[in-house]
Structure 1
Amino acid sequence: MADFNFELVSPERLLLSERVSEVVIPATEGEMTVMANHAPTMTTIKPGVVTVKAVDGKVTRYVVFGGFADILPTGCTLLAESAVPVSEMDAKLIEKRIDATKSELDDGSHSDEHKTRLEQFLAELTQLNGIVVAF
């Protein structure tokens, strides 16, 4: 099976940089599986779980809170707004983000467009909360 370079980067740290066989990312338009020789693509990322399958078959998962991915035939770089390995995930972290988003929505001083984006983000965080509890 062909492999490619994958990097997962957040503002806090480089979480992963290695050769992998596939990566499933939570793209804004739906989950995408990235493999070697993928067509060049750039996509935004919604809050969700990134699943990484290493060349040796080991699977690791990371929770991301948005960002974007740059995909090339030889590799993929995911720049996350924030990311943490699922093994280090604390449910309170998602709850804090949900509460902060609700507070921002309750502020009421936002344009309709911004309010719609906040509502979408809140829905994505709520869905992510249910997914992470399953791990």
Structure 2
Amino acid sequence: MAGPLRFELVSPERLLISEEVAQVVVPGAEGYFTVLRDHAPFMTTMKPGVVEITGTGGEVRRIYVRGGFADVNESGLTVLAEFASRVEDLRPDEIARQIRDAEEDLADFGDDHIRRTAAEKHLNDLRDVQRWISPA
């Protein structure tokens, strides 16, 4: 098994995590990807979703992020999130309200293809977050 990966998660307010971990799953703009130690370097934007951090002892933590960047380099992985919150701190009723608002926005856009496409993406991202925070 690969050794530990240096991981940092930063939000505009503060450094949230800076430690050695086993692996991190990140919601990249093109889909979720997993980073282990010695991963090939690259940088990507992130979509709203959940960063899943597996510690060196096997414990798993989940952090909801709303956009930002992920930078994988020889030093490890740095996630620069526009917003970050522990999944257990998210309120299901607030996410449900945001989904209702997004559904109304989508209905209001009618034939405006560009705005409809953006609204559909936002709605799908919110539904993805709801999946992470809803009880099993």
Superposed pair shares fold, TM > 0.5: yes
Residue 62 of structure 1, CA deviation:
0.8
Q: Which residue of 2 aligns with 1:6?
A: 7
Give TM-score, length-normalised by structure 2: 0.82
Rounded Cα–Cα distance in structure 2 between residues aligned with 1:129 and 1:20:
26
Instruction: Map 1:90-101 onto structure 2 (within 5 A).
Output: 90-101=91-102
Distance change >3 Å, CA 4–CA 52, structure 1 → 2? same
Distance of 1:12 and 1:97 partners within structure 2: 23
Alpha carbons of structure 1 residues 13 and 115: separation in structure 2 relative to 1, 3 Å: farther
- TM-score w.r.t. structure 1 length? 0.82
| CA distance in structure 2 between the aligned counterparts of 1:36 and 1:77, rounded to whole angstroms | 13
Q: What does residue 133 of structure 2 align with?
A: 132
What percentage of residue pairs aligned between the two structures are identical?
Answer: 41
Cα distance per residue 1:74-124 (max 9 Å; x no partner): 21111112111122221133234335545655665xx74344223211111
Corresponding residue for residue 35 of structure 1: 36
Report how many aligned residue pairs link the two structures.
135
Q: 1:2: Cα distance to partner?
A: 1.2
Contact 1:36–1:74 (8 Å) recurs in 2 = no
CA deviation after TM superposition for structure 1 residue 56, in Å: 2.4
Residue 116 of structure 1 pairs with residue 134 of structure 2: no
SS at match of 1:11: coil
* Structure 1: segments with no counterpart, 5+ residues: none
Q: Distance in 2 between matches of 1:81 and 1:101?
A: 20
Pairwise CA RMSD: 2.4
Contact between 1:66 and 1:80, CA under 8 Å: does it hold in 2?
Answer: yes
Flag structure 2 segments of 5+ consecutive residues without an equivalent.
Answer: none
Question: SS in structure 2 opposite 1:25?
Answer: strand
